[in-house]
Amino acid sequence: MKNILARLYASLQGLLVPVVLLAIWQYLSAHAIVNPQILPAPTAVIAKWWEYLLPTEAFDPSRSGYLAWLFSGEMIHDAYASMYRVVVGFLVGTVLALPLGLLMGANDRIYKLFNPLIQILRPIPPIAFIPLSILWFGLGNPPAIFLIVIGAFFPVLMNTIAGVRHVDGIYIRAARSLGASQTTMFLRVMLPAATPYILTGARIGIGTAFIVVIVAEMIAVNNGLGYRILEAREFFWSDKIIAGMFTIGLLGLAIDSGMNRLNNYLLKWHRGIESN
């Protein structure tokens, strides 16, 4: 019971600042201190968000079921398109980064071979690849997914390398004294010890992928949350712009919370993680 009350208190405490900011925002817009056309009131944004969420056509039982109609809203389609690109790009980037990071972390020769190239490419933001991605892949999903792959690749890679290279020497010496082979040492010592770093890299990588997809959708595709925000800007629909930003924030929070829960579940064995 005490744990539930403590969590409830922490949640209410975390809502204090957003509620105060929303109240100030509402006051400024309602009293025309700020131009409502530029910064519409929270109530107007919520109304637009609800309109953006709901289906535009009336329910027709002869055409589709109720659930299909309910999830036919413009925002649902845009959110699905964005999430599809994020998931595919993140998975491809992780599949490419993980084995390379493990090899570079475990083998000095491979590290010295690839590290100069990695350090040259890593500081280049994924946005800088937009012109090339359009030239190489045209428009649509491929260039957007390519940019997301780049955005997810380097956080996973660098954290994996750091995790393997920073394994506590005590574990290495203990494994050697017990006669562990190089393969056993890698699979049973280095990889588990590096897992917290890898999962942290994955959490950062999927967050970066979500940022990149919004930018990519503003340029290379004709659907998704980023595209819809750009479209709203063209028509000066400030309420829809903020409603789209609010949707992005909710999805980002859901993704980060899910990754955090997954990390805590997979790292129950790791010291410093308290299992509830």
Regarding whether 13 and 91 lie in a shared domain, the answer is no
Task: Indicate whether 275 belongs to any domain.
Answer: no
- Under 8 Å CB-to-CB from 145, ≥6 apart: which residues? 85, 88, 89, 92
Task: Indicate whether 273 belongs to any domain.
Answer: no
pLDDT at 6: 65
Measured distance CA(59)–CA(66) in Å, rounded = 7
Q: How many CB atoms lie within 10 A of CB 154?
A: 22
- What average pLDDT does the segment 202-218 reach? 87
Residue at 270: amino acid letter: H
Return the structure tokens found at 81: 């398109």
- What average pLDDT does the segment 187-199 reach? 79
Regarding whether 29 and 152 lie in a shared domain, the answer is no
212 in Cβ contact with 126 (< 8 Å): yes
DSSP result, 42-105: HHHHHHHHHHHHS-SSPP-TTTS-HHHHHTTSHHHHHHHHHHHHHHHHHHHHHHHHHHHHHHHH
**What confidence category does residue 168 fall into, taking pLDDT thresholds of 50, 70 and 90?**
low
pLDDT at 57: 63
DSSP result, 55-68: -SSPP-TTTS-HHH
Measured distance CA(5)–CA(101) in Å, rounded = 43
Measured distance CA(55)–CA(44) in Å, rounded = 19
Task: Indicate whether 71 belongs to any domain.
Answer: yes
Determine which of 3-17, 80-94, 119-133, 183-197 has the lowest per-residue pLDDT on average: 3-17
Task: Indicate whether 62 belongs to any domain.
Answer: yes
- Any idea what the CATH number is for the domain that residue 259 is in? 1.10.3720.10
Length of the chain: 276
Measured distance CA(51)–CA(262) in Å, rounded = 33
Regarding whether 15 and 126 lie in a shared domain, the answer is no
Measured distance CA(162)–CA(123) in Å, rounded = 17
| Confidence check: pLDDT of 272 > 60 | no
The count of domains in the chain is: 2
Regarding whether 77 and 144 lie in a shared domain, the answer is yes
Regarding whether 105 and 24 lie in a shared domain, the answer is no
**What confidence category does residue 273 fall into, taking pLDDT thresholds of 50, 70 and 90?**
very low
Residue-wise pLDDT tens digits, 80-115: 888 999 999 999 999 999 999 988 887 889 889 999
Q: Which domain holds residue 202?
A: 40-266
Regarding whether 52 and 17 lie in a shared domain, the answer is no
Regarding whether 70 and 15 lie in a shared domain, the answer is no
| Confidence check: pLDDT of 66 > 60 | no
Q: Within its chain, how far is the Cα of 205 from the centroid?
A: 7
> Which residue, among 258, 266, 261, has the nearest Cα to 194 in the 3D structure?
266
Regarding whether 83 and 6 lie in a shared domain, the answer is no
Task: Indicate whether 272 belongs to any domain.
Answer: no
Regarding whether 49 and 13 lie in a shared domain, the answer is no
The better pLDDT of the pair 167, 164 is held by 164
- What average pLDDT does the segment 14-18 reach? 77
- What average pLDDT does the segment 203-218 reach? 87
Chain-wide mean pLDDT for the chain?
81
Regarding whether 95 and 200 lie in a shared domain, the answer is yes
Task: Indicate whether 138 belongs to any domain.
Answer: yes
Task: Indicate whether 271 belongs to any domain.
Answer: no
Regarding whether 17 and 125 lie in a shared domain, the answer is no
Residue-wise pLDDT tens digits, 140-166: 889 999 999 999 999 999 999 988 887
Regarding whether 138 and 4 lie in a shared domain, the answer is no
| Confidence check: pLDDT of 263 > 90 | no
pLDDT at 96: 94
